[in-house]
A and B are shown apart, each in its own frame.
Chain A
Amino acid sequence: DAKTTQPTSMDCAEGRAANLPCNHSTISGNEYVYWYRQIHSQGPQYIIHGLKNNETNEMASLIITEDRKSSTLILPHATLRDTAVYYCIVKALENTGNQFYFGTGTSLTVIP
């Protein structure tokens, strides 16, 4: 699976949009982009995933560039409860299994 690169940390003002970038320049055509987050003392929580098209759900939006070499997770109106470590993962469907490889992620702090 392709490696990902994320900033170590970011701050965002409460109520503003949080834009979390992820580089995955070696992504293959069959690899999806997944985002998870981990709030302190809890297990990782699935947020969203996509292949080529932009995706939106009740938690966030995922913007994938046309060349698929990078993506951005957008939390439209960040709240204090969005403070967490956010993981960007790319994974191929053809892997033997369903394992995800978590990197170090981005530690997002939402500031009042």
Chain B
Amino acid sequence: DAGVIQSPRHEVTEMGQEVTLRCKPISGHNSLFWYRQTMMRGLELLIYFNNNVPIDDSGMPEDRFSAKMPNASFSTLKIQPSEPRDSAVYFCASSNRDNRQPQHFGDGTRLSIL
């Protein structure tokens, strides 16, 4: 079975540009999570969705970040305008809403803002 699919795997862009990260969760999963990982702060939850509805976005750093889930099989995380401090690895994960179920992670998008 296909796991969580993220694209692109790597993104290098100049500050000020808009960045869009994409995620396809595992089919049948109804919870989706966006994380950011840096050396300084480790793995941080940015936002999560249940049944395509954003439930908690308290981890989103600021208004430059936005996330959408238009349907059960697709989500985007957008940064506009991007800044060098946004450089990190961004992970998407999905799970069943049963709280005992583990999350399954994609391989991440390594983002570098110059």
**Residue ranges of A at the interface with B (Cβ–Cβ < 8 Å):** 32, 34, 36, 41-46, 49, 91, 93-104
Contacts and interface: CB of A to CB of B under 8 A. Distances in A.
B33 A99 contact: yes
Main secondary structure of the interface of B (DSSP, over half): strand
A100 B56 contact: no
Interface of B: 4, 31, 33, 42-43, 45, 48, 50, 55-56, 91, 93, 95, 97, 99-108
Nearest to B106: A43
With most chain B CB atoms within 10 A of its CB, the pick from A95, A98, A104 is: A98
Nearest to A92: B99
Contact of A46 (B33, B56, B103, B108): B103
A43 B107 CA distance: 5
Contacts of B93: 43-44
B105 A99 contact: no
Nearest to B44: A102
Contacts of A32: 100
B99 A93 contact: yes
With most chain A CB atoms within 10 A of its CB, the pick from B31, B43, B105, B106 is: B43
Given A43-B93, A102-B42, A97 B108 contact: no
Contact of A97 (B4, B50, B100): B50
Nearest to A35: B102
A39 to B, nearest CB: 10
19 contacts: A32-B100, A36-B102, A43-B108, A44-B93, A44-B103, A44-B105, A45-B105, A46-B102, A46-B103, A49-B100, A91-B99, A97-B31, A98-B50, A98-B95, A98-B97, A98-B101, A99-B45, A100-B45, A102-B42
A103 B97 contact: no
Nearest to A104: B42
